[in-house]
Amino acid sequence: MTTKRPPTALEKMGLNSPMALALHLPSRYEDETELFTIDEALGLGRFHSIQTQGVVIRNQVMFRPRRQLLVTIEDDTGSLQLRFLNFYPSQQKQMAVGSHVRVRGEVREGYQGAEMVHPTVRAVTSDAPLPASLTPVYPASAGTSQTIIRKAVLQALRDASLKESLAEFLPSKLMAEIFPSNDWPPLQDAIAYLHQPPADANTQSLLERTHPAWRRVQFEELLAQQISLKRAHAIRRERRAPSFKRDQQISKVSTTNTSVEDGLFKVLPFKLTGAQARVWSEIGLDLSNTFPMNRLLQGDVGSGKTVIAALAAARAMDHGYQAAIMAPTEILAEQHYLKMKEWFEPLGVKIVWLSGSLKAKEKRLAQEMIESGDAQLIIGTHALIQDKVSFAKLGLAVIDEQHRFGVRQRLEIQQRVGSELFYCHQLMMTATPIPRTLAMTYYADLDVSVIDELPPGRKPIATKVVKAARRDEVIGGLHDWLTKGLQAYWVCPLIEESEVLQLQTAVESFEQLTQALPDFKVGLVHGRLKGEEKAAVMAAFKANEIQLLVATTVIEVGVDVPNAALMVIEHAERFGYAQIHQLRGRVGRGSADSVCILMYAEPLSLAAKERLQTLRETSDGFVIAERDLSLRGPGELLGAKQSGDAMLRFVDLQRDAWLIELAQLAAERLLAEHGDLVERHLERWLGSRTEFLKA
């Protein structure tokens, strides 16, 4: 019986084939093509890394002020000290007295004169030749040396199979039409260049990834992604879905004589805005198709996405199908549940609530109603995609704040609700706008609708940035605010004391504000409260039995209290763009002028300062989303970090935005005219990861 050998360090990094190694491109380069004497190095190396060499004349371990290795080398022009605060016995042996070493690092002033701290060291002969190309520095995991990676990459580049893997098969005519002035090298040459750029290479363009060799690689990667998304879009249109045409309702589930949709329009206390009406028209058309809708509904906080979801659900129910609305938090899901009950119960619609916090008996009853078809509208959290939930006839799935679920969960609900006969329609909703470049690259399989108009009467929210030192002044202003009969939120980042961050906590703030505002009722809500406790506090706040609500970010989405027109966000420097934008959207829902105070602790980092400044200056969700993208990258915004799969590895969505449209054009042409090349291209770049691009 043979035992399976453990994976090597390279295999653990996914570098298990010549192709994987070839595409493991350097993150930066070191210039080891120039060599200076020690005297020259002392004059040049104080602001950048420089390379010199010499014979070791001293090697000793010192223990004051801490354990460290001090090595002195010399040549005909002078001497230089090397200092190592962390070192291995093998390094000490490598730099034994009398050995000749080549070192690279930044020269700085030390206690005993000029020195290099932790330089790169190689044992060489005095006449060892210099490399002809820049030395690549690769992304590496702990325990994997650059030497091992470089050796493996060079071996992979010489592998005969790689020539076929990187073969040039994109039609030259197509490339010439899309890029009339194309000076990009062939793919194999581009990759070889990036691994071993010549000494005279433009290092700036290599580091900024704008070099023609980088452009060729980026285009190929984007092309694979766009092909995958466009093909997924075409595959979806071949699937069967129930058609919900406005004039062909087959089942009047309402207890009144009208359809649920007509009944809903009658009970709504408002008329749709122009933007809502336009969006509903787009979604209504999707629902009438015989292939599944896959639409993303974007709308800023408070723009009225919920009513669109309700209309879509009504349309599905009118045709005898169930509708489900899934939200990422219990508070948001419960807000949807309460709103839908208010609208649909007078119409005789049976609504079921399902969440993880339900008692076993309640959960079982809800599951039975869903499976039997008695439940027409199902609202809940992640509990809706658990194995024990089986829908009788699900025709529509609405996923709110879709980016909070992650790629795998969006796929899961898509696969769970599908059957041999049909797939259900899907409507994703978000109040965090998707930047244009992100939509073009990761949401190309989605049709996008935007509610770009707030309901009448909604007033802009004034945002103020205040130092934490003015806390007492803020509390004084809060007292005046509450005296007017208005309500307020006070948001904190942590629930209990943290020795690491030492932030003012929700519990402490609750106690302090209760003492400071004895004439008013102060409530506290956070993620560790039980569901029923949380619901009781929120109900009391909505009924104005609580005037000030101290909360953590559990109120980020889903809370609608028109009389609450002031929000104080404590330690605002600890929150991201999207979080503050979502939190701020909890106010400004009534007729009173609304204010959001961002209170911060000093010192502020440059990034935090820029973030607070942007949030003070704009409430435009799309501007904020673009800034968020540049700060966090697509993986976090998409909820794809959970998947464990890399997103675009070589493309920066903002720097390379112009390439996206060219890749889209090339993808359309390849799919239409060169179907035989599509599989080869996808296999080269995506392998088994194409499934994630269909989410």
pLDDT in tens, 316-328: 999 999 999 988 7
Please count the structural domains in the chain.
Answer: 3
326 and 446 assigned to the same domain: yes
Whether residues 479 and 590 fall in one domain:
yes
Domain membership of residue 291 (yes or no) is yes
Q: Tell me how far apart the alpha carbons of residues 227 and 232 are, in angstroms, rounded to a whole number.
A: 8
Q: Hey, what are 82's tokens?
A: 């090397």
Q: Which two tokens stand for residue 427?
A: 């409507």
Residue 501: pLDDT over 80:
no
Task: State whether 418 and 391 are in the same domain.
Answer: yes
Last residue of a domain, one of 423, 451, 479: 451
List the beta strands (DSSP E) in 487-558. Answer: 487-491, 522-525, 548-551
- Give every CB contact of residue 567 below 8 A, 6+ residues apart in sequence: 488, 489, 490, 491, 583, 584, 586, 587, 595, 596, 597
Distance CA 669, CA 651 (A): 22
Q: In this structure, are 418 and 500 located in the same domain?
A: no
Inter-axis angle of helices 330-344 and 531-542, nearest 10: 60
List, for residues 166-181, the tens digit of each pLDDT value: 888 888 888 888 877 7
For residue 434, tell me if it sits in a domain: yes
The verdict on 604 and 516 lying in the same domain is yes
pLDDT digits (tens, 9 = 90+) for 8-17: 888 888 888 8
* CATH number of the structural domain spanning residue 109: 2.40.50.140
Percent of the residues in the chain that have a pLDDT greater than 90, as a whole number: 29
Higher pLDDT, 501 or 352: 352
Rounded to an integer, what distance in angstroms lies between the CA atom of residue 677 and that of residue 220?
Answer: 13
pLDDT digits (tens, 9 = 90+) for 449-463: 888 777 776 677 888
CATH of the domain at 275: 3.40.50.300
503/429 same-domain check: no
User: What's the pLDDT at 8?
Assistant: 84
Would you say residue 161 lies in a domain? no
Residue ending a domain, choose from 451, 470, 500: 451
Sheet with 113-117: strands ordered across: 107-110, 113-117, 78-84, 68-75, 50-62, 100-105, 120-123
Q: Can you give the pLDDT at residue 212?
A: 92
| pLDDT of the residue at 421 | 62
Average pLDDT over residues 342-355: 91
Cis peptide before 603 (omega within 30 of 0): yes
Q: Name the residue among 342, 350, 348 with its Cα closest to residue 376.
A: 350
Residue % of the chain over a pLDDT of 70:
84
Residues 417, 314, single domain; the answer is yes
Phi, psi (degrees; rounded to nearest 5) at 529 = -70, 150
Side-chain half-sphere CA neighbours of 614 within 13 A: 22
Cα angle 125, 126, 127 (rounded to 5 degrees) comes to 90
Which of 436, 398, 454 has its CA nearest to residue 276? Answer: 454
**Domain end call among 585, 618, 651:** 618
Question: pLDDT tens-digit profile of 586-642?
Answer: 787 777 788 999 998 888 788 788 888 888 877 766 666 666 665 555 544 444 443
- Range with the largest mean pLDDT of 106-110, 189-193, 498-502, 566-570: 189-193
Does residue 399 sit in the same domain as residue 435?
Answer: yes
Average pLDDT value for residue range 649-678:
85
**Is the residue at 174 inside a domain?**
no
**179 lies in a domain?**
no
Q: Whole-angstrom Cα distance, residue 103 to residue 621? A: 51
pLDDT tens track for 414-437: 544 444 567 889 898 887 666 665
Domain extent at residue 49: 34-130
Does any domain span residue 292? yes
* One domain, residues 505 and 581: yes
Q: Which region holds residue 582: left if phi is over 0, alpha if psi is between -120 and 50, else beta?
A: alpha
In the prediction, which pLDDT does 102 show?
Answer: 94
* Residue 2 domain flag: no
Is 557 a residue whose pLDDT tops 70?
no
- On whether both 410 and 508 belong to a single domain, the answer is no
- The reported pLDDT for the residue numbered 636 is 44
Residue in this structure with the two tokens 């809940």, named with its chain if needed: 380
Contact between 405 and 336 (Cβ < 8 Å) = no
| Judgement on whether residues 447 and 465 belong to the same structural domain of the protein | no
Mean pLDDT over residues 398-408, rounded?
Answer: 60
Residue type for position 201? A
Range from 35-44, 275-284, 477-486, 586-595 carrying the lowest mean pLDDT: 586-595
φ, ψ of residue 626 in degrees (nearest 5): -65, -40
Question: In 3D, which of 334, 344, 359 has the Cα closest to residue 312?
Answer: 344
Q: Could you tell me if residue 520 is inside a domain?
A: yes
Same domain, 446 and 472: no
